[in-house]
């Protein structure tokens, strides 16, 4: 089993579990990685929605994950020898969470608008941040972020397809699992090896669904070209940035920062899909940004 060397941004607890605490440049660097990943994944999701009429939700998500898995494997060339059974189990669960999160979320945005879907999905990481917070200040930022998310979604949640809402909430639960096991995989595997293995697992889960749904459409040049762009924007780039961030930030801080996702999704929906946010939605965005700024300030000191 590969040992993790604690950097100034990390310390080992008495139980042997690696606990990450952002410090100075390391903490601010992790924050920047989360924000860059969030912008990439939300705009990638907006572009993916444009491809649904041609390849369907299952087809698009399987294309995205499979292409991202191939690209990561080619670039990273993960070392698979010498891994323990626990290493493989962590990477496997990480991959199942990653695949489940994406499949469920794409089913959600196939039924309901992007902004409300992300608003519901982000409740998973927010719940994780509340559970993980050990200080009153952490609970304050998580509660403020939750209030902003609820306000953001209030004007757009009424009358939504119940199945779409259920898929978004389930995707949120998978997102929370992704954060927890992504941090563990990052501690056990060097570089991006853990992510490459997890992405391969996610591809094995999603590809049969895509083939069964879209068939030969997935091989059309136009679909493949958009699939590559979506894979880079929505999988390869953001997951790489997030895995690096999880090595610099505690999971509860990372989870609160993900509350920016509804704001980013609303912006992407407006610019790419022509979805104009309401005044209550803008107020919700302001609360979410304030909560994230508070988490950044508290985590960087």
Q: What is the mean pLDDT of residues 194-217?
A: 91
Which of 59-63, 158-162, 192-196 shows the lowest per-residue confidence on average (mean pLDDT)? 158-162
Confidence of residue 210 (pLDDT cuts 50, 70, 90): very high
Where in the chain are the domains? Answer: 23-299
Q: Is 48 exposed, middle or buried (0-12, 13-18, 19+ CB in 10 A)?
A: buried
Helices (H), the chain: 24-76, 85-109, 114-121, 123-132, 136-157, 162-188, 193-214, 221-231, 237-246, 251-257, 261-273, 279-299
Full-model pTM: 0.75
**What pLDDT, on a 0 to 100 scale, did the predictor assign at position 27?**
57
Whether residue 278 contacts residue 156, with contact meaning beta carbons closer than 8 Å, is answered with: yes
What whole-number percentage of the chain has pLDDT above 70? 82
Per-residue pLDDT at 87 exceeds 50: yes
More confident residue, 259 or 110: 110
**What pLDDT, on a 0 to 100 scale, did the predictor assign at position 94?**
94
Helices (H), 77-121: 85-109, 114-121
**What pLDDT, on a 0 to 100 scale, did the predictor assign at position 170?**
96
Whether residue 265 contacts residue 61, with contact meaning beta carbons closer than 8 Å, is answered with: no
Q: What is the mean pLDDT of residues 68-93?
A: 87
């Amino acid at each position: 089993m590969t040992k993790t060397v604690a950097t100034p941004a990390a310390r080992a607890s008495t139980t042997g579990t690696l606990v990450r605490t952002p410090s100075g440049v390391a903490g601010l660097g992790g924050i920047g990685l989360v924000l860059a990943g969030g912008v990439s994944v939300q705009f990638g999701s907006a572009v993916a929605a444009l491809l649904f009429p041609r390849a369907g939700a299952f087809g698009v998500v399987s294309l995205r994950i499979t292409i991202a898995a191939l690209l990561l494997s080619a670039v990273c060339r993960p070392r698979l020898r010498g891994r323990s059974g626990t290493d493989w189990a962590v990477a496997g669960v990480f991959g199942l969470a990653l695949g489940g999160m994406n499949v469920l979320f794409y089913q959600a945005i196939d039924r309901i608008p992007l902004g409300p879907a992300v608003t519901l999905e982000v409740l998973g990481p927010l719940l994780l941040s509340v559970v993980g917070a050990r200080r009153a200040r952490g609970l304050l930022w998580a509660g403020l972020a939750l209030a902003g998310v609820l306000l953001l979604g209030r004007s757009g949640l009424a009358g939504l397809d119940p199945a779409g809402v259920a898929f978004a909430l389930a995707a949120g639960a998978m997102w929370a699992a992704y954060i927890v096991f992504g941090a563990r995989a990052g501690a056990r595997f060097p570089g991006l090896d853990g992510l490459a293995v997890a992405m391969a697992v996610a591809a094995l889960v999603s590809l049969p669904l895509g083939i069964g749904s879209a068939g030969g459409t997935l091989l059309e040049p136009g679909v493949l070209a958009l699939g590559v762009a979506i894979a880079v924007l929505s999988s390869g780039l953001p997951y790489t940035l997030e895995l690096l961030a999880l090595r610099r930030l505690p999971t509860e801080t990372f989870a609160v920062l993900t509350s920016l996702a509804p704001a980013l999704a609303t912006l992407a929906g407006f610019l790419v899909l022509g979805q104009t946010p309401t005044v209550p939605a803008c107020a919700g965005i302001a609360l979410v940004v304030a909560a994230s700024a508070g988490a950044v300030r508290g985590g960087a000191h």
